[in-house]
Amino acid sequence: MNILFCSVGRRCELLKDFRRTMGEDIKIVVTDNSEVAPAMAFADRAYQVPLINAPSYIPMILDICKKEKIQAVTTLIDPEIMLLAEHRKEFEALGVTVLAPYEETAKLCFNKYEMYQFLTKHQINTVKTYGTYGEFHSAYEAGEISLPVFVKPRTGSGSVGARKIESIELLEQVTEADESLIIQELMTGKDLDADVYVDTISHKPVAMFSKRKLSTTIGGANKTISFKDDALFSFIKEILSVMQFNGPLDMDFFYQDGKYYLSEINPRFGGAYLHAYGAGVDFVKLIAENVKGVENQEIIGNYEEDIVMMMYDSVVIRKKSEIDASMIRL
């Protein structure tokens, strides 16, 4: 399998997992705009490319796909997911499987208020969200929501820019100063997530791995413990039945008052997918089968509970001359 990872950054362990599963039956090609992106050290071919907003960017990625005979492409950063979705047909014309959602679904994933409206329209439990202070204030006066609340950017990803607000005066002040902010109910239940693989042929979820977050950083969970719950697996299937995903997903949930609530969906390999892989839920094999044109069978819940992941930092040490020799600059 020849696979291209765009914007590979620091995702060294993920590339190691692909190599561990596929051995010599894989060619890992990566791109990044930095020549010192650590994960480049674990690729077979590495390309330094412009920033993703450069007009030449997508033509360069398509050219790499032709040159390296790429069979599947994915990205490891959120801003690039929409690019892959928008140019899906150009990649597919080259025989490349795009491990990213379809365009309309991608748009929803990166607009929290539109996602909320979509989910409530389909009667899917999610976190109460208000697009304006006026909308929130009406609900507040009606006793439908109480303080404290969370505010966060409408189109941001992860927890960047999120903050807890405890007074109505401060809430009015911050939302007036930044109209891009949305207001969300403060959830006090258990913080959970799930790694999910949506088969690129059947477009159905075929693998799921759920875990409770024990510790988090700005980048996401760094300590997690596995669990299984058929109610959560059924809830995930319900969500995905009304959206169009393709490949790996990282889904965040809250469990509160006996119910699951969807928080957000990151349609890419999550940083803590390493936990799923380590517990035997191998998306690499599923991708390889899809690339061969084989539809995967469902293996949902095929792992042990109470497996703990403890993430830590590491380093890559290389000579500058080795970096220069291995890098293809475009």
Stretches in the chain below the pLDDT threshold 50: none
Predicted local distance difference test score (pLDDT) of residue 162: 84
Domain match, 250 and 321 both: no
CATH number at residue 195: 3.30.470.20
Predicted local distance difference test score (pLDDT) of residue 159: 63
| pLDDT 10s digits, 90-132 | 999 999 999 999 999 999 999 999 999 999 999 999 999 999 9
Domain match, 162 and 253 both: no
CATH number at residue 22: 3.40.50.20
Predicted local distance difference test score (pLDDT) of residue 217: 80
Q: What angle do CA 5, 7, 8 make, to 5 degrees?
A: 60
Domain match, 206 and 293 both: yes
Identify whether 109 is part of a domain: no
Sequence-ordered alpha helix ranges (H) in the chain: 12-22, 57-68, 78-86, 88-92, 103-109, 112-121, 133-141, 168-177, 230-240, 273-278, 283-291, 320-326
Predicted local distance difference test score (pLDDT) of residue 160: 67
The residues, ordered by sequence, that sit 6+ positions from 203 with a Cβ below 8 Å of its Cβ are: 244, 245, 246
The residues, ordered by sequence, that sit 6+ positions from 229 with a Cβ below 8 Å of its Cβ are: 210
Identify whether 227 is part of a domain: yes
Predicted local distance difference test score (pLDDT) of residue 157: 66
Domain match, 264 and 216 both: yes
Residue 176: domain span: 128-185
How many residues appear in the chain?
330
- Judged on CB neighbours under 10 Å (0-12, 13-18, 19+), 301 is middle
Domain match, 136 and 66 both: no
Phi and psi torsions of 267, nearest 5°: -85, 65
Identify whether 224 is part of a domain: yes
Report the chain's terminal Cα–Cα distance, integer Å.
Answer: 24
Domain match, 221 and 145 both: no
CATH number at residue 152: 3.30.1490.20
The amino acid sitting at 158 is: G
Identify whether 138 is part of a domain: yes
What is the tally of structural domains in the chain?
3
